[in-house]
């Protein structure tokens, strides 16, 4: 729609009338003959994922487990009992076989026969209960994790441009959360169970065959310490690199899906698919290397425990020949190390996967947010009655760890029914001002007041009840018009159908709505794909108007519209916000009127258009 860009092309196609040039513009094809280089993924690109201490990771794990900690404790107890029942089943079976070979009276082995059945059935029941509780607990924790992340996204809002991109939110809410969900049960229970049964095994061997106790302790140390260290050392970079590559794959795949139409139209879909194939090949290589290192640790465990069984037999032979040990007890102490193979293998797997789980937990932790209005150490109000005026007094804003302010000396005052136009080149601070007005950033100097109240005295949530934001690229969910509009208010204050129809009319969608057979139940498609660019923008504006906020922020609402449509939308917005304070961020001079307060962030003036005319 921009005439400056239109003037750059000698060929034009007028869709609403006759084409101005007989020859259509040939579609440009990019990527043909280009050499594609596989993307490199470095740990430095993801400091939150690559860094972090052991203590910090334990804190994140504690927070993850907290919503279902009772279930985790119960599941761990059931898991330990299930493993002990499995070991008892093996040893009692050995005792029974050896004792039965001596052909005693049935009453001497009847208890052992019942014990084999008891431990066999009990193991299955306990394992089933452990699995049900573990999965229930993990799904509860992951649900709470996703809700916490979603809440943090909402709290940060305009502060993080990274979070406004779909690939990043998918990485947090889906990929990282799913990794935690998959790894947590493979790390937590086997580690605790392995340590528990090791103590029980030492006690049992000490009671049955004390001379073999040093051997058993040494073998268990190999299984509990040496084997995991060997596996973890060889997997030091493989596991972490795999986490980073999975995140990169998820982001790129989400980006390709979002831009599938553009990618296909420009003929670069083959190049993109090849890039994803190369990334997938690197990810598969990391997975194979991780499996090899796990096999190394498992080989050490199996070798150690089989050797323990052999040498225990040699030790028991002396006691057996002197009559100090019954043959059936020899079977018990010899089979005990073999019964430990399965839980010890799970233990090594758990220790090897702990760095992956720690990285996944850190990947779910958002970067520290800058000091917000709510972080000031002073008494804070939970609410103010209304916001009939907005004042900025000698305001300056800067981002954390940045010495130079983005802007300074900003002063303005606006009341209900007035419009403030914010202009400036890219990088002049328009987005920073929006973040500050929404309460995601604290002024470095000056004051920001609503209805005479310094917003530094307000809780951020209280501030945002009075300020609503309509971003330039507002997200529309793949649902109905009704569902997207219902997001404007809490459930207990949901707008009625008549309110939704009224706000659609005020946003200039009256004729469009009248043409819809399903009305409010019309689906808008993924990110509003069933709507035109102007209709998507107007629907987002309608959702903002439904919030009942006294201050509304419009970020480039006419960016995707032609001149006539943009003019009509601004006129409709002015009528719709007659009882509100409107702040409009725009590059278009035609969006302002003589009565508006103009803020040029490059010049930092706070004068009306009329005053400029008089001054000239």
CA torsion, ordered 108, 110, 111, 116, to nearest 10 deg:
130
Give alpha helix (H) positions in 209-268.
213-221, 227-234, 236-258, 260-265
CB atoms within 10 A of CB 288: 11
CB crowding 222-233: b at 16 or more within 10 Å, else e: bbbeebbebbbe
Say if strands 407-415 and 389-397 run parallel, antiparallel, or are unpaired: antiparallel
> The whole model's pTM is what?
0.66
DSSP 602: T
Question: Which token pair is 203?
Answer: 């006690």
Give CA–CA dist 107/84, Å, rounded.
26
Taking the chain (616 residues) in consecutive chunks of 10 residues, what is each chunk's mean pLDDT? 71 62 40 40 40 71 90 94 93 91 86 92 95 94 90 66 60 83 90 92 91 92 88 62 69 74 77 84 78 81 93 87 84 92 91 84 70 48 77 84 79 89 82 85 86 82 84 84 90 89 87 89 86 84 88 84 81 86 86 84 57 39
Number of residues that this document lists for the chain: 616
Instruction: Report the candidate in 79, 527, 546, 69 with the shortest Cα–Cα distance to residue 346.
Output: 79
Instruction: Report the candidate in 178, 202, 222 with the shortest Cα–Cα distance to residue 348.
Output: 222
What is the DSSP annotation of 98-153?
HHHHT---HHHHHHHHHHHHHHHHHHHHHHHHHHHHHHHHHHHHHHHHHHHHHHHH
- Under a CB-based contact definition with an 8 Å cutoff, are residues 583 and 592 in contact? no
Question: Which token pair is 186?
Answer: 């493979």
Sheet holding 445-450, edge to edge: 407-415, 389-397, 445-450, 453-454
Give CA–CA dist 461/549, Å, rounded.
13
Report phi then psi at 470, rounded to 5: -115, 100
- Under a CB-based contact definition with an 8 Å cutoff, are residues 115 and 328 in contact? no
Instruction: Report the candidate in 435, 461, 466 with the shortest Cα–Cα distance to residue 450.
Output: 466
Instruction: Report the candidate in 129, 171, 114 with the shortest Cα–Cα distance to residue 146.
Output: 171
How far, CA to CA in Å, does 91 sit from each of 415, 467, 494, 501, 507?
A: 83, 70, 64, 74, 77
- Under a CB-based contact definition with an 8 Å cutoff, are residues 85 and 116 in contact? no
Give CA–CA dist 552/609, Å, rounded.
21
Give CA–CA dist 594/85, Å, rounded.
84
Report phi then psi at 397, rounded to 5: -135, 140
Give CA–CA dist 177/479, Å, rounded.
24
3-state secondary structure of 31: coil
Give alpha helix (H) positions in 406-514.
430-437, 460-464, 481-486, 497-506, 510-514
CB atoms within 10 A of CB 492: 5
- Under a CB-based contact definition with an 8 Å cutoff, are residues 180 and 49 in contact? no
Instruction: Report the candidate in 137, 116, 125 with the shortest Cα–Cα distance to residue 81.
Output: 125
- Under a CB-based contact definition with an 8 Å cutoff, are residues 483 and 489 in contact? no
Give CA–CA dist 259/175, Å, rounded.
20
| Helix/strand/coil percent split, the chain, to 5 | 65, 10, 30
Give CA–CA dist 611/600, Å, rounded.
14
Residues pairing with 396 in the sheet: 445
Instruction: Report the candidate in 546, 552, 360 with the shortest Cα–Cα distance to residue 470.
Output: 552
- Under a CB-based contact definition with an 8 Å cutoff, are residues 245 and 275 in contact? no
With tokens 């290397």, the residue in question is: 289
Handedness of CA 435, 437, 441, 444 (dihedral sign): positive
Give CA–CA dist 407/396, Å, rounded.
6
3-state secondary structure of 575: helix
What pLDDT, on a 0 to 100 scale, did the predictor assign at position 96? 92
- Under a CB-based contact definition with an 8 Å cutoff, are residues 176 and 360 in contact? yes
3-state secondary structure of 413: strand
Give CA–CA dist 114/94, Å, rounded.
14
Question: Which token pair is 370?
Answer: 């800058």
Give CA–CA dist 434/454, Å, rounded.
17
How far, CA to CA in Å, does 86 sit from each of 98, 191, 209, 310, 360?
A: 19, 17, 21, 21, 32
CB atoms within 10 A of CB 307: 14
């Amino acid at each position: 729609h921009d005439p400056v860009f239109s003037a750059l092309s000698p060929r034009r196609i007028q869709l609403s009338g006759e084409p101005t040039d007989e020859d259509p513009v040939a579609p440009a094809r990019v990527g043909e003959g280009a050499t594609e280089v596989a993307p490199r993924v470095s740990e430095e690109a993801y400091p939150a994922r690559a860094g972090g201490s052991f203590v910090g990771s334990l804190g994140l794990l504690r927070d993850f487990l907290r919503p279902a900690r009772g279930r985790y404790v119960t599941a761990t107890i059931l898991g330990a009992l299930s493993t002990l029942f499995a070991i008892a089943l093996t040893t009692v079976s050995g005792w029974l076989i050896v004792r039965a070979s001596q052909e005693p009276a049935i009453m001497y082995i009847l208890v052992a026969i019942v014990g084999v059945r008891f431990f066999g059935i009990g193991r299955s029941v306990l394992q089933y209960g452990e699995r049900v509780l573990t999965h229930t607990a993990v799904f509860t924790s992951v649900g709470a994790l996703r809700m916490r992340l979603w809440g943090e996204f909402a709290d940060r809002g305009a502060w993080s441009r990274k979070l406004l991109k779909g690939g990043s939110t998918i990485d947090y809410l889906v990929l990282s959360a799913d990794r935690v969900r998959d790894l947590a049960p493979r790390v937590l229970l086997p580690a605790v169970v392995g340590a528990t049964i090791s103590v029980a095994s030492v006690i049992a061997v000490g009671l049955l065959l004390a001379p073999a106790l040093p051997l058993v302790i040494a073998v268990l140390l190999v299984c509990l310490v040496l084997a995991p260290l060997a596996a973890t050392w060889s997997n030091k970079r493989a596991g972490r690199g795999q986490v980073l590559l999975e995140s990169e794959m998820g982001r790129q795949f989400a980006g390709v899906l979002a831009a599938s139409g553009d990618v296909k139209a420009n003929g670069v879909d083959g190049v993109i698919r090849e890039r994803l194939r190369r990334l997938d090949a690197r990810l598969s290589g990391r997975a194979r290397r991780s499996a090899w290192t796990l096999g190394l640790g498992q080989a050490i465990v199996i070798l150690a425990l089989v050797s323990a069984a052999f040498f225990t037999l040699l030790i028991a032979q002396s006691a057996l020949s002197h009559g100090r040990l019954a043959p059936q007890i020899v079977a018990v102490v010899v089979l005990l190390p073999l019964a430990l193979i399965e839980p010890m293998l799970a233990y090594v797997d758990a220790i090897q996967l702990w760095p992956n789980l720690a990285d996944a937990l850190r990947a779910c932790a958002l970067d520290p947010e800058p000091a917000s209005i709510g972080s000031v150490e002073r008494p804070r109000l939970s609410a103010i009655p209304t916001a009939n005026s907005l004042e900025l007094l000698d305001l300056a804003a800067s981002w954390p760890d940045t010495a130079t302010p983005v802007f300074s000396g900003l002063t303005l005052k606006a009341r209900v029914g007035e419009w403030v136009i914010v202009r400036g080149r890219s990088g002049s601070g328009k987005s920073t001002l929006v973040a500050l007005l929404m309460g995601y950033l604290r002024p470095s100097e000056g004051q920001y007041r609503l209805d005479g109240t310094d917003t530094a005295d307000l809780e951020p949530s209280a501030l945002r009840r009075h300020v609503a934001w309509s971003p330039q690229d507002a997200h529309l969910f793949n649902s109905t018009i009704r569902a997207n509009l219902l997001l404007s208010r809490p459930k207990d204050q949901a707008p009625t159908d008549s309110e939704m129809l009224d706000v659609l009319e005020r946003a200039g969608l009256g004729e469009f709505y009248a043409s819809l057979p399903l009305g409010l139940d019309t689906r808008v498609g993924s990110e509003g794909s069933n709507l035109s660019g102007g209709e998507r923008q107007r629907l987002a504006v309608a959702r903002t108007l439904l919030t009942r906020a006294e201050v509304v922020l419009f970020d480039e609402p006419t960016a995707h519209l032609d001149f006539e449509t943009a003019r009509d939308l601004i006129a409709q917005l002015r009528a719709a916000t007659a009882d509100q304070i409107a702040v409009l961020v725009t590059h278009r001079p035609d969006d302002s009127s003589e009565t508006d307060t103009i803020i040029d962030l490059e010049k930092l003036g706070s004068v009306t258009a009329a005053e400029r005319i008089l001054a000239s």
